[in-house]
Amino acid sequence: MSRSTETTLRVRYAETDQMGVVYYSNYLVWMEIGRTDFCLHSGFRYRDMEAEDGVMIAVAEARCRYRRPARYDDRILIRTSLTSLKRRILTFSYDIRNADTGEQLATGATVHVAVGADGAQRSIPSRQFDLLSTRAEAPRE
């Protein structure tokens, strides 16, 4: 099983600014799409963890390094990896590229804290933790 997942999407016109370049905040949306696909490919749907276990992974930190612009109708490849996994904290990394040329457009990372509906920290449920640990690049803690 691959440790990273790849998600492909096409830039929509609404994601671009007046200069025809993808507006910067859309990269964070693309990271979320990659993260959701990562969970799915790990063996669970993120929304089921919220609904059945009452646990969410809230974004505590996000960073993105923009390297080249993406433009309307470009095919985008989002490579998502889980670089750190602890019982309450996860870190994902992202490599965003033009799917046709392979040119790197951006890199990024998000740090997440597992919380309940009340906002208090929780542990990631054992089932999801075990599934994620088989895909994590770093040893689980």
- Out of 17, 48, 73, 100, the active site residue is 17
d(CA 73, CA 124): 37
DSSP 51: I
* E-assigned strand segments in the chain: 4-10, 56-66, 75-85, 89-98, 104-115
Q: Is 48 one of the catalytic residues?
A: no
CA 7 to chain centre: 10
Catalytic residue IDs: 17
